[in-house]
A and B are shown apart, each in its own frame.
Chain A
Amino acid sequence: MFDPADENVIAILREKYEDQVLLTEKHYDFLTITLKEDKIIEVIQHLRDHEGTKFQFLTTLCGIHHPEQGQIAVMYQLHNMYNNSRIRLKIYLPQEKPVAPTLTGVFAGANWMERETYDFFGVVFEGHPDLRRILNVDEMTIFPMRKEYPLEDQTREDKRDEMFGR
């Protein structure tokens, strides 16, 4: 399942942060590692600075809401431009109080990505220099990308879901 390059990355990660790694898997040729949230920044810094990994580019960062588990995941996607490999890291936070450390100290580009994640999922990034809403209006009281906020008006009767297999 894992090719040698992935094995190498996992070994480097396990060597120092064995207790942090919860799950390693591969989705459509993409190495995905689930980690505990408390040391995520240290782990990313380690992956960035270690000679064998050099994940020095943050491609993207986003939130994912899993209502059935009561969790909000934050996904980080890093890129090693030297050997052109990518990695996806995930942390799971409780949806009642999603708090994660900020990545802005490691990558300047994480600033707005974290603001967007806060805006849509309510994930509070501790230590973020300017954690405000970014795309929605400041007066908004909800976090709209959470699954409990349906897109369409639920009181409508002319569009019945069972007719559309939803």
Chain B
Amino acid sequence: MDARGTDINTVQPQEKQYSYLNLGPTHPATHGIFQNVLKMDGEIIVDSEPTIGYIHRAFEKLAERRPFNQITPITDRLNYCSAPINNIGWHMTVEKLIKADIPKRVQYLRVIIMELARITDHLICNAVVGVDTGALTGFVYLFQQRELAYEIYEEICGARLTTNIGRVGGFERDFSPKAWEKIHRFLDEFPKVLKEFENLLKRNRIFMDRTIGVGGITAERALQYSFTGPNLRAAGVDYDVRVAKPYSSYEDFEFTIPVGINGDVYDRFMVRQEEMWQSLSIMRQAIDKLPDGPYHAEIPDFYLPPKEEVYNNMEALIYQFKIVMGETDVPKGEVYHSVEAGNGELGFYLISDGGRTPFRLHFRRPCFIFYQAYPEMIRGSMLSDAILTMSSMNVIAGELDA
């Protein structure tokens, strides 16, 4: 009995109340358009309800109305941080369907571009993890290097972000001397900057405290959720499409697949970091071993002839007309081709009924598949950790929403 006459032994605490926090759709910390309604107990996340589809553009439906070469620009807009991988993955799917024989030089050039794209993809992700832990410097510093990489794309295909690089069968033109100069400059300058960035964060006590043990997922759960790419490898599974089913001559190169242990933010950061070093090594190997030869395959039914040929040669004119009007005969068939994109296994499941457009084209988008594990990964953590988990998973809205 206290002074006011209430028995403290019978007093019940106030009924527990949760608060709801609407994170997104447009929130600067989510780096894209994602909405999460978080159920919070104080600062602890009890549950979350993600809503996606804010930038859905019906790519699978669009693809059913487009000739094969017009689908390449659609693939740009999936994971726009590494558009060349998507483009080349699509070209290889069509080449598989038509059973085209691709020259070694084209395959090596593709490897160079794809690894460059992987570097730009991981670079953004890791720089953003830095930003979300409070280190803006690394982000700004690395973006100078990304600019160099984008200049290389520009030199090769004329575009920077949505690259539409290459054609079915190879590249539209050979790499110019200036492109080679820029590639060598990148290979020369980037490692120093990357090392500096790594030194800034790798053994940084603040960074380690913020990332180790945060947003983790076990290998079993990751496989249950069909994770692929760096997020799966950070959990300790060494699955990489480049090794599991080599495409574009990846079997010719020596590289290791970094794996993590805990699958937390720090492991994902380190896996991406190491993959960038491996990508640099693959690029160097490809340049050293680069064979001579043509920069495109001899498939006149699909590869546009040079313009002067079109004006002076009847046959070339016919091919040009057929390709541009989408009159080329395509074999019937069902093809699945997958590439190791920035975020994991990017698959193209293509059903052709022999018509000018695909009968059905399904994109296996790694982001869409692993983002569904996000509520489980942030349950019980703090709001600031949820932000960090999302950026370290590298969820790209374009790939998520197709």
Contacts and interface: CB of A to CB of B under 8 A. Distances in A.
B333 A164 contact: no
Given A57-B223, A60-B347, A135 B53 contact: yes
B224 A27 contact: no
B197 to A, nearest CB: 33
A152 B333 CA distance: 26
Interface in A27-80: 27-28, 30, 32, 56-60, 62, 64-65, 75, 77
Given A30-B334, A57-B223, A144-B58, A165 B326 contact: yes
Contacts of A17: none
Interface string B208-225: 000000000000010111
A107 interface: yes
Nearest to B58: A144
A166 B355 CA distance: 8
Contacts of A164: 325-326
A92 interface: no
B65 interface: yes
A148 to B, nearest CB: 12
B369 A113 contact: yes
A43 B61 CA distance: 31
Interface in B213-255: 221, 223-227, 237, 239, 244-245
Interface string A73-98: 00101000100101010000000000
A165 B226 contact: no
Please tell me the size bucket of the interface on A: 35 or more
SS class, residues of chain B in contact with chain A: mixed
Contacts of B333: 27-28
B372 A111 contact: yes
Contacts of B338: 59
A63 to B, nearest CB: 9
SS class, residues of chain A in contact with chain B: mixed
A62 B226 contact: no
A64 B369 contact: no
Interface residues of B, number: 45
B226 A75 contact: no
A134 B35 CA distance: 12
B372 A109 contact: yes
A44 to B, nearest CB: 13
Nearest to B371: A112
A23 interface: no
Contacts of A120: 60
Interface in B299-352: 325-327, 333-336, 338, 345, 347, 349, 351
A131 interface: no
B372 A27 contact: no
22 contacts: A27-B333, A27-B335, A28-B335, A59-B226, A59-B338, A65-B360, A77-B347, A81-B239, A81-B244, A108-B221, A108-B225, A108-B372, A108-B373, A112-B371, A135-B52, A135-B53, A135-B56, A136-B56, A144-B58, A145-B61, A152-B65, A165-B325
Given A136-B53, A165-B327, 9 more contacts: A28-B336, A59-B345, A59-B364, A60-B347, A77-B349, A109-B224, A109-B225, A112-B372, A166-B356
A-B complex: 6 closest residue pairs judged by Cβ atoms: A109-B226, A135-B53, A27-B334, A60-B364, A62-B362, A135-B56
